[in-house]
Amino acid sequence: MTQESAAAAYAAPTRRAAAPASNAPLRKLYLALSEAAPDPAALAAAADWLAVRLQESAAAASSLPAPGHGAAFTAFLAARQDEIDEQYKQYVAERRAGAPRRMFSGRAHALYYLKAIAPTRLTDGAWLYGALARWNEPAMRPLIATYLEELGNGVPDKNHVVIFQQLIDAHGSNGWQRLAEHHFDGGLTQLTLAHHAERFFPELIGYNLGAERADLDAQIAAYELNELGIDPYYFTLHVSADNSITGHASLALDALRSLTPNDETTAGFLRRVDAGYRLHHLAADNAALLSGFALRAELEAALAVKNVALYHPANTVRIGARALPEWFGDSEAAPQLLELLESEGWLVRGEDAAASRLWALIESADPDTPAEALPLASLFTEYELALLADWASTPSQGTAHAPVRLVTTPPRRINPAPPAAPERVRESAERGIIRHRFPDDEHGWEALANELSLLEARIVASNSKEEAIALLAALMGPARHHASTGLMATRMFSQLFSA
């Protein structure tokens, strides 16, 4: 791989140089690069965007040790791990002493967060994909080993993208495709690095150092999700996988050591590593994602796009002059509906929604109650219920929340905080099949079996290990590794890689 100079790598085409990266159509590019075979024009535009982004990040202060001091990196990561461990201990102590949650105002905010981070988390590990092309270079092994672990070595239950997809499917936190542009920054960065590993190689190493390290936000998110009855496994998994003693942070450091050239280009190379590290910092702005949540506005927006069939039993429930579903699908009607819910006593602001007149039509504590007796039983999604419950529990004057009892579907697992070790959490987690990945019907399974057999046959028929690995690597890109053939290809690749 050639090592271009930093100036050459960051040079954006003249026609785009004047446009700030923040104005780029991030969502459109993200979706284009999420295709199995991205359009060449989109790939070129993404590389231009990243080059401009790197120019922007160059203005930020460097936080890595000075270039040329390899040993300082080890100390830097160890100090960071210690610092985060200490901060987390302090957080737990504060919470046990009665401090409020730090990340999520309530369950709805937590579910919103899962959606807000989806573009980044559904491309987890993607920045390492380009490393596969250099599978036979010993120096690349730490990067490839990390990528394979992100992919769960082809085991669906361990593939980070599959796990995150299952999480948002289980809680109805989909719909991320309609998020505002800035939500796609991190994901687009990762997909661009995946497809332009050669051009941005030192930056990729730096980005990996930033992404694969102990992360306080992941620990706090796990604690608070668990507390709100939402499966924290995706986050506890990262707390253990990314640690700097034996985990991905340690491999990231090994990659830096083994891939930094030892000649006159070293200083330039490390400057670009640093730029990649800062790029990760810029792309992972959790605070900005969390602050994008406004409870009342989200609730009104959810009601304004809701659509209910005419024959739904909810039509028998009248609120004001209309049947309940007639208030939906209209942005002007949503605020009026909320006022009526309050003025007609369907919900009492500042009180537990589970005890309200509205909730008596949604769920019953008596398991023998027939579904027909609850006309609103299937009306709301989990996210809509969380929004309604959190809004109800907030007093209409002021911002303090009344104590909230979980009123939606029973939590999958609530461990006494802090969350249990990942393995224990995992054992008790409920897991469905991988949605969208495996067919429902017999013919679908037959087609899948044929597809997998075909792949196996093609690998067996390969003339060399190189040919087989190239075939497998083509199926292990960010768009494919979590599908059935991608998972199988990853299992085979892992075997060949470790042989």
Residues lying near Fe ion in the complex (CB under 5 A): 124, 150, 160, 212, 241-242, 248
Q: What's the min distance (Å) between Cβ of 417 and Fe ion?
A: 23
Alpha-carbon distance of 154 to 381, in angstroms, equals: 32
DSSP string, 324-391: GGGGSS-TTHHHHHHHHHHHTTSS-TTS-GGGSTTGGGT--S-TTS-GGG-TTTTTS-HHHHHHHHHH
Q: What's the min distance (Å) between Cβ of 247 and Fe ion?
A: 7
Which residue, 192 or 381, is less far from Fe ion as judged by CB? 192
Which residue, 248 or 480, is less far from Fe ion as judged by CB? 248
Which residue, 225 or 376, is less far from Fe ion as judged by CB? 225
Which residue, 215 or 300, is less far from Fe ion as judged by CB? 215
Tell which residue, 227, 219, 218, 236, has the closest CA to residue 107.
Answer: 227
Which residue, 197 or 459, is less far from Fe ion as judged by CB? 197
Which residue, 242 or 298, is less far from Fe ion as judged by CB? 242
In one-letter notation, the amino acid at residue 262 is: N
Q: What's the min distance (Å) between Cβ of 215 and Fe ion?
A: 10
Tell which residue, 237, 78, 72, 81, has the closest CA to residue 150.
Answer: 237
Q: What's the min distance (Å) between Cβ of 237 and Fe ion?
A: 7
Q: What's the min distance (Å) between Cβ of 242 and Fe ion?
A: 5
Q: What's the min distance (Å) between Cβ of 160 and Fe ion?
A: 4
Alpha-carbon distance of 389 to 108, in angstroms, equals: 8
- Rounded to whole angstroms, what are the CA distances from 222 to 83, 154, 168, 256, 446? 18, 25, 15, 29, 39
User: Which pair of tokens denotes residue 185?
Assistant: 């920054």
Torsion (CA) 195, 199, 203, 204 in degrees, nearest 10: 30
Alpha-carbon distance of 111 to 209, in angstroms, equals: 28
Which residue, 109 or 238, is less far from Fe ion as judged by CB? 238
Neighbours of 10 (CB within 10 A): 20
Q: What's the min distance (Å) between Cβ of 405 and Fe ion?
A: 33
Burial class for 267, CB neighbours closer than 10 Å (0-12, 13-18, 19+): exposed
Q: What's the min distance (Å) between Cβ of 141 and Fe ion?
A: 16
Which residue, 206 or 325, is less far from Fe ion as judged by CB? 206
In one-letter notation, the amino acid at residue 413 is: R
In the three-class reduction of DSSP (H, G, I as helix; E, B as strand; rest coil), residue 123 is classed as: coil
Q: What's the min distance (Å) between Cβ of 127 and Fe ion?
A: 11
DSSP string, 205-225: HHHHHHHSS--HHHHHHHHHH
